Amino acid sequence: MEQRKLGTQGLTVSAMGLGCMGMTFAYGTADETEAIATIHRALELGINFFDTAEVYGPYTNEQLVGRALRGRRDGVVIATKFGFKFDNGVRGVDGTPENAKRVANESLARLGIDAIDLYYQHRRDPSVPIEETIGAMKELIDEGKVRYRGLSEVSPETLRRANAVHPISALQSEYSLWERRVETYVLPTVRELGIGFVPYSPLGRGFLTGAVNVETLGENDFRRTNPRFSKEAAQANQRIVDAVRAVAEQCNATPAQVALAWVLSRGSDVVPIPGTKRRRYLEENVGALDVHLTPDQLAALEGLHEQTAGARYTPEMMSLVEH
């Protein structure tokens, strides 16, 4: 599989990663056997970049990823994240140096590894200067517990301040055919600073595949609380899926493959991490690497984000996203 560089510090990963969140968290019933088989199949297909986080569960996702990759560590890049505080659920953010270090040690134990390859601050804590958080993450690198550092959903100003303390290798933010706001200020800053970009939800939490019926989502499916997945918004957003499907028919591909091919085409510094917990969808996603969109097809997809109905998150969750 094609390899892409994240940042300028030496981190190289497969052109597509695997988001593991849904294997234990957010998207309905978990199936550990199939999830582990999916991670193993990803390795067979050339994916070496796996994304998890403390908050996914919490804790259970890191444990599953650790079990799946035990004995298969060579050449694998494991990314995880810290930054929330818990008390019977998520109760805000915690970017203190003490939390960054504590979670790193606990994540290492849950994953069963000696060093975290890429350690992200999951959400910025506005009560803690970013310089203090990054300083603690630098100490973890100096101690050999972390190899590379990342941030998620932060503003250009925060990126600049953080990168001035110690180079950031990757920024993870939402990016897809129906969510492109990072293009205005964030992506130009990332590229100016030489930071890699890791889009999460490149399939619009599955909606862009055309296979999601919002009325049949399980009671424990996170998307039921997402404004973009309300019945009214979903009806409006079907126009986007229809346009993606039309291009897919021209390419002899699936809508999911077209949506991923579009993200992959945005630059060699872009590494999407589509999530799935099933081998059949993983194999479909990897097929996007062989889909090459023509200028006319790219033009047909260009304005779709302007039609997106519904907010990305609830107001409470959006308050944690910097712009």
Has residue 323 been placed in a domain? no
Has residue 152 been placed in a domain? yes
* Class of residue 245 by CB neighbours under 10 A (exposed 0-12, middle 13-18, buried 19+): middle
Residue 248 token pair: 């897919």
What pLDDT was estimated at residue 91? Answer: 82
Has residue 204 been placed in a domain? yes
What pLDDT was estimated at residue 26? Answer: 85
Has residue 203 been placed in a domain? yes
What pLDDT was estimated at residue 90? Answer: 79
User: Cβ contacts of residue 300 below 8 Å, gap of 6+?
Assistant: 243, 246, 247
> Which active-site residues does the annotation give?
56
H or E, element range at 246: helix 231-251
- Neighbouring C-alpha atoms within 13 Å toward the C-beta of 294: 6
d(CA 95, CA 273): 24
Domain count, the chain: 1
Are 5 and 11 in contact by the 8 Å Cβ rule? The answer is yes
Residue 36's SS3 state is helix
Residue 164, domain extent? 3-318
d(CA 195, CA 45): 26
What pLDDT was estimated at residue 323? Answer: 82
Has residue 61 been placed in a domain? yes
* Class of residue 215 by CB neighbours under 10 A (exposed 0-12, middle 13-18, buried 19+): exposed
Mean pLDDT split into 10-residue runs, the chain, 323 residues: 98 98 90 97 98 96 98 97 88 96 98 98 97 98 98 98 98 98 98 98 98 92 94 97 98 98 98 98 98 98 98 94 91
What pLDDT was estimated at residue 196? Answer: 98
Query: Domain containing 28 — which CATH number?
Result: 3.20.20.100
What pLDDT was estimated at residue 220? Answer: 87
Has residue 307 been placed in a domain? yes
What pLDDT was estimated at residue 96? Answer: 98
